[in-house]
Amino acid sequence: MEACIEQFRMPRYREIPDVGLYLDQTVKYVNRYLAPLGCMEITSSMVSNYVKKGYISNPVHKQYAADQIAYLFFISVAKSVLSMDNIARLFDMQKKMYTAEIAYDFFCAELENMLQYTFGLKDRIDEVGTPEDKSETKTMLRSTIIAVTHIIYLSNRFACMQSPEENGAAGHIAPPAAP
């Protein structure tokens, strides 16, 4: 998993397709990027539900734009540690301070930063964004990402314990074979 984490990179806002993606394309796009993390996946019905409940705006001509896709990336990651109501609160806080592009790119950089630190690929946590930005929004986002990266780390480690091949390599005692 460390190799996957070391290579993991979220698409930045300007790299998200600006032509508009249909629902199935959007779901595949988001899931493809998040697959290396092993625990976050969205479905078409989830996206439709997020639109219906107002967490993301309605698609235009059934196509999802960069803003909506960026929000879906965040929802997909944050839903493992936050309720949808709290995710919506974070969105409201973010919209008062930052553009969607700035907020999303910060989220990407912070997620990559915390994943590498949590998996022991670097010795310190980098300061992401501007040092003078000490907003509650930034602190809450970092706290969310810390929680998410710890869940990803623990899920990975527990999964490794279940695999006999990886148990031997990691020094764990493999469970006895079934008779």
Q: Could you tell me the residue range of the domain that residue 55 belongs to?
A: 2-169
- Encode pLDDT of 112-159 as tens digits: 999 999 999 999 998 887 666 778 888 999 999 999 999 999 988 888
pLDDT grade, residue 162 (50/70/90)? confident
Apex 34 CA angle, 29 and 37, nearest 5: 165
Residue 57 clears pLDDT 60, i.e. is over it: yes
Which residues of 39-178 form beta strands (DSSP E)?
63-64
In a domain, residue 137? The reply is yes
Query: Would 102 be classed as within a structural domain?
Result: yes
Distance between CA atoms of 52 and 50, rounded to whole angstroms? 6
In a domain, 129, yes or no: yes
Q: What is the pTM of this model?
A: 0.86
Question: Number of structural domains, the chain?
Answer: 1
Q: Distance (Å, rounded) from C-alpha 116 to C-alpha 111? A: 9
Across 86-97, average pLDDT: 94
Classify 8 as helix, strand or coil: coil
**Is the residue at 82 inside a domain?**
yes
CA-CA-CA-CA dihedral for 119, 124, 129, 131, to nearest 10: 160
Label residue 1 by pLDDT band (50, 70, 90).
low
* pLDDT above 90: residue 82: yes
Is there a domain that residue 177 lies in? Answer: no
Rg over CA atoms, the chain? 18
**Residue 118 falls within a domain, yes or no?**
yes
Q: Is 179 among the domain residues? A: no
Q: Are 139 and 68 in contact (CB under 8 A)?
A: no
